[in-house]
Structure 1
Amino acid sequence: MSTKDLMRKEALNKLKELAEGIDFTMMDTNLGGKPSHIIPMSTKEVDATGAIWFLSNSNSKHNAYIERDNAVQLIYAKPGDMEYMTVFGHAYITTDRNVIKKYYGKFDDTWFDGIDDPNVTAIKVIPEEAYYWDTKNGKLTTFIKMGVGAVTGKKQDLGVEGELDIE
């Protein structure tokens, strides 16, 4: 793998591409505790500032952990496409009805009693550090390169990894 750190607009575009393309992340809260609390969350959007948005239940353990210590780690993985990203940041909970209406979809009825459910909250994660791993040419080409490397003994460039600096 080659290393390519991305800055500002290019980093924001990669963050958005991976977070929204992968969709589900494992959100890790209670980072200072043992064990930490890890749950799957569906990404609603990466906004123009790089903030990552989710919907959540006000009575959830992760909301309680965020209220005590808002440091979170997001772990995105799409092994089929060999795309991965980890994001460390701080989470903020809002009950702003306009924000909730913006992100609420029909699928969310699985978790809530409709858009007017008083337990619906939105979580905004502001990234501080992010790192990505991505193949350059897709899964098939990567597997072919891996095979070539195994047969020839020559190291192949299988993809790219690097830091995402959106500030």
Structure 2
Amino acid sequence: MSEDNLFNEDARAKIKELVENIDFAMMETHLGAKQTHIVPMSTKDVDDDGSIWFLSNKNSEHNNYIRDDDSIQLIYAKPGDMEFLIVFGKASIITERPVLEKYYGKTDDTWFDGVDDPNLTAIKVRPEDAHYWDSKNGKLVSLLKMGVGAITGEEQDMGKHGNLNP
């Protein structure tokens, strides 16, 4: 796997590409504790500035942790496509109606009583550092390439990984 570190716009574009392809993240808060708090979250958007958006309940444990410490880690994984992304950043809780209206969808009715639900908040994550692994071949081709490499002793192109500095 070759290393390809990306910066600024290229890094933001790679984050957007992977997040949109994977969708669900494991959101880790309470990072300074011996036992962190991790919850699955569906990504709503990656905006033009590279910020990642989620909807959340204002009384949730992760919202409470974000209010205490805005450090956050997002872990995205799509093993079938051999795509992985870890994002470290700063989170903020947003309650402005235009933002909530922008990101609220019909499927969110499962967790909220509409966009007017007083418990509805958005979480904005501003990435500060990220790392990705992306085979672009999927699991089957990657496994075949590993096998060919093991048999022939020749190094195979297994994809790319690198740091993302947005």
Deviation at 1:113, TM superposition (A): 1.2
Give the fraction of aligned pairs with identical amino acids, expressed as a percent.
63
Distance across 2 between alignment mates of 1:61 and 1:157: 42
* Residue 83 (structure 1) aligns with: 83
Map Cα deviations across residues 111-143 of structure 1 (whole Å, 9 max, x no partner).
Answer: 111111110000000000011000133333322
40-49 vs 142-151, which moves further: 142-151
* Residue 97 (structure 2) aligns with: 97
Distance across 2 between alignment mates of 1:24 and 1:110: 16
Distance across 1 between alignment mates of 2:59 and 2:138: 40
1:156-167 correspondence runs (5 A)? 156-166=156-166
Give 2:39's aligned amino acid. I
Give 1:42's aligned amino acid. S
Map Cα deviations across residues 140-164 of structure 1 (whole Å, 9 max, x no partner).
Answer: 3322211201222333221100011
Deviation at 1:93, TM superposition (A): 0.1
Q: Under a length normalisation based on structure 2, what TM-score does the superposition of the two structures give?
A: 0.96
Give 2:103's aligned amino acid. Y
Q: Under a length normalisation based on structure 1, what TM-score does the superposition of the two structures give?
A: 0.95
Distance across 2 between alignment mates of 1:154 and 1:98: 55
* Residue 10 (structure 1) aligns with: 10
1:64-143 correspondence runs (5 A)? 64-143=64-143
Unpaired segments ≥5 residues, structure 1: none
Deviation at 1:33, TM superposition (A): 1.0
Deviation at 1:11, TM superposition (A): 1.2
Unpaired segments ≥5 residues, structure 2: none
Q: After the TM superposition, which segments of 4 or more aligned residues of structure 1 sit over 4 Å from their partners?
A: none
141-150 vs 93-102, which moves further: 141-150
Number of paired residues? 166
Deviation at 1:105, TM superposition (A): 0.7
Alpha-carbon contact 2:54-2:124 (below 8 Å) kept = yes
* Residue 55 (structure 1) aligns with: 55
Distance across 2 between alignment mates of 1:135 and 1:23: 18
Map Cα deviations across residues 58-117 of structure 1 (whole Å, 9 max, x no partner).
Answer: 010000000000100000000000000000000000111110010001111111111111
